[in-house]
Structure 1
Amino acid sequence: MVSTPTTVDVWVDPRCPWAWIASQWLLEVEKARPVEVRFHIMSLSVLNEGREVPEKYRQGMIEGWGSVRVCVAAEQQHGPEALRRLYLAMATRIHHGKEGLLRDMVLGALADAGLPAELADAADTTEYDKPLRESHHAGMDPVGDEVGTPVLHVPGPDGELIAFFGPVISPAPRGEAAARLFDGVLAAASTDGFFELKRARTRDPIFG
């Protein structure tokens, strides 16, 4: 008898390096555990609206709208699998190719994902901002506003929603090590009253 895979919903912004590493980890988990990962979009630009941010991040907050708008447009027009392909293509170009967040990166990622170039026009319109914000809040509201991305939603032992920020890792573990981390994260997150486990970051993002 084939068991039904556990659905893991992850909320990401293509420009977040920590979300990209966590995504690589989850793709490893898919190979080693009966898990299906579904990608959703949150926006660091939405998250930080109205907040004071360091000057070095301010331009990223402005430029960051385009890529998430295009991701939402792709999902709306072509479905969740298209979003998955596009997110992975964008994040590869942003974090490995150092291509930035502007139109050339978006066009290249759309081509990589087999999606129409016309979707790039969504970057410069507010047409998809309502579903973008809805997606953002669907992921972020259950964990509060003092976190970033990645955010994961998984079903608990009794079918209840378990939602949490993280894990923040560098680099992504591979193979059985990825699966063991997944098992441990779920064990911690599903423990009643468990809220936080944290230590200082001692390395930059390592993309592998």
Structure 2
Amino acid sequence: MTEIAAKPVVDVYVDPMCPFAWITSRWALEVAQHRELELTFKLMSLYLLNKDRDIDDDYRAKIERSRGIGRVAAAVQADHGPEAFAAFYTAAGTRIHNQRNKDFDAVAAEALAEAGLPAALAQVVTSTDHDAALAASHQAGMEPVGDDVGTPTLHVDGVAFFGPVLTRVPRGEEAAGLFDAAVALARYPYFYELKRSRTTDPVFD
């Protein structure tokens, strides 16, 4: 059996644009209120994940538009650390998902301000200076699970999974119980996949 620590180290890899990553991240924060864990949000990139995939034109255009905010997020994570990234991600995600603001460049500027980060970072949207850092973070999140999956990716003491994909944010002991189940699966080294067709859309309340 794979050893999981009494206080698991949990890394949730997210892209600011992804609604499922947003719900999983809010679930992880809820779990942290009920279970002892070390929780960190880290950056992956839907643009990089889908760069060589055959996807529809509308989705391709959307992830192309999100490159700028991904670069800002990479700069925040690389230059200001995980706590700053978590604050930026929460501010950005609230605007993108709860408030349905799809002007990603404007969201990036507003999220920087809310998180108390330098406004000059908004200029990174058109810069390639942090592309290598973004690619490295993306690779760290995706390499253990493979590129045939998506976001979010959950790492529990180094054991990585795609998901969980949720359309609601579980609360209280329901959230904690779902995490306990994920840890139980992580303990079994030959577990790989558990999936069913999704019949509901994401709700961010």
- Band the TM-score falls in, shorter-chain normalisation: over 0.9
Identify the residue that residue 99 of structure 1 maps to in structure 2.
101
- How far off is 1:101 after superposition? 4.2
Identify the residue that residue 198 of structure 2 maps to in structure 1.
201
Q: Mapping of 1:1-208 within 5 angstroms?
A: 5-155=7-157, 161-208=158-205
Which whole-Å deviations, capped at 9, do the CAs of 1:152-204 have from their partners, x for residues lacking one? 1112xxxxx31111000120100111000000111123212111111110100
Which range moves more in the overlay, 188-197 or 111-120?
188-197
**Whole-angstrom distance in 2 between the partners of 1:169 and 1:22:** 7
**Structure 1 segments of 4+ aligned residues over 4 angstroms from their partners:** none
Amino acid at match of 2:60: R
Higher relative contact order (CA 8 A, sep 6+): 2
Q: Measured at CA, do residues 193 and 101 of structure 1 come closer, stay the same or move farther in structure 2, by a change above 3 Å?
A: farther
Amino acid at match of 2:203: I
Which whole-Å deviations, capped at 9, do the CAs of 1:53-112 have from their partners, x for residues lacking one? 111202112111111110111122221110010011111100011111432111111111
Which whole-Å deviations, capped at 9, do the CAs of 1:103-126 have from their partners, x for residues lacking one? 211111111111111111111111
Structure 2 SS opposite 1:122: helix
Which range moves more in the overlay, 102-111 or 33-42?
102-111
Give unmatched runs, 5+ long, in structure 1.
Answer: 156-160
**Whole-angstrom distance in 2 between the partners of 1:59 and 1:28:** 33
Which range moves more in the overlay, 99-108 or 34-43?
99-108
**Whole-angstrom distance in 1 between the partners of 2:116 and 2:189:** 43
Structure 2 SS opposite 1:132: helix
RMSD of aligned C-alpha atoms? 1.3
Structure 2 SS opposite 1:86: helix
TM-score by length of 1: 0.93
**Whole-angstrom distance in 2 between the partners of 1:95 and 1:169:** 14
